[in-house]
Amino acid sequence: MQYASLYIFTLLPFGVLDAIWLTSTAGTLYRPTMGDMLLPTPRLVPLVIFYLMYPVALLIFAGLPAMKIGSLTHALMYGALFGAFAYATYDLTNQATLRNWTTQLTLIDVCWGTFASGAAAAFGYWATTKFNAWMGGMSG
């Protein structure tokens, strides 16, 4: 039950935060840089696969270790670090291989990934500990 709740409580804030970010910045940040490389609407299957898989990685590298030692700070810091490395991998690869990709876009996107991943991992940890305490109180 703990794994499922940690997954859900990490997936939801990451998905919501990223949806807000992408819908509010696509026209002002990504489209001017990437131009016609961007699809008018995202492809659904790869989008769903990413949003189902990425929280699993946040659990493995941040949420579960934080649960083991009982540390919200651990979840936040390791979630943020994972996000920084994951987004840097994507952005720096794009910058190295795509003509229009800029340093500004790399820096902004890596900062975003760091924040969103840290926030989602921290929220996942916090909400799971509250949920587990509530569930424990119901059974006792």
Contact 123, 47 (CB under 8 A): no
138 has pLDDT over 80: no
The alpha-carbon radius of gyration of the chain (Å, integer) is 17
Instruction: Annotate 32-63 with three-state secondary structure.
Output: HHHHHHCCCCCCHHHHHHHHHHHHHHHHHHHH
Percent of the chain with pLDDT over 90: 80
139 has pLDDT over 80: no
With bands split at pLDDT 50, 70 and 90, how would you rate the model's confidence at 97?
Answer: very high
Coil, strand or helix at 101:
coil
Residue scoring higher pLDDT (95 or 137) = 95
pLDDT tens string 38-79 = 888 889 999 999 999 999 999 999 999 999 999 999 999 999
Task: Tell me what pLDDT residue 88 has.
Answer: 98
Two tokens, residue 93: 């690869």
Task: Tell me what pLDDT residue 40 has.
Answer: 86
Instruction: Annotate 119-133 with three-state secondary structure.
Output: HHHHHHHHHHHHHHH
pLDDT tens string 101-110 = 999 999 999 9
Q: How far apart are alpha carbons 129 and 68 in whole angstroms?
A: 11
116 has pLDDT over 70: yes
Residue with tokens 């994507």: 90
Burial of 75 (0-12, 13-18, 19+ CB in 10 A): buried
Average pLDDT of the chain to the nearest whole number: 94
Percent of the chain with pLDDT over 70: 97
Task: Tell me what pLDDT residue 19 has.
Answer: 94
Contact 34, 136 (CB under 8 A): no
Coil, strand or helix at 18:
helix
Task: Tell me what pLDDT residue 140 has.
Answer: 55
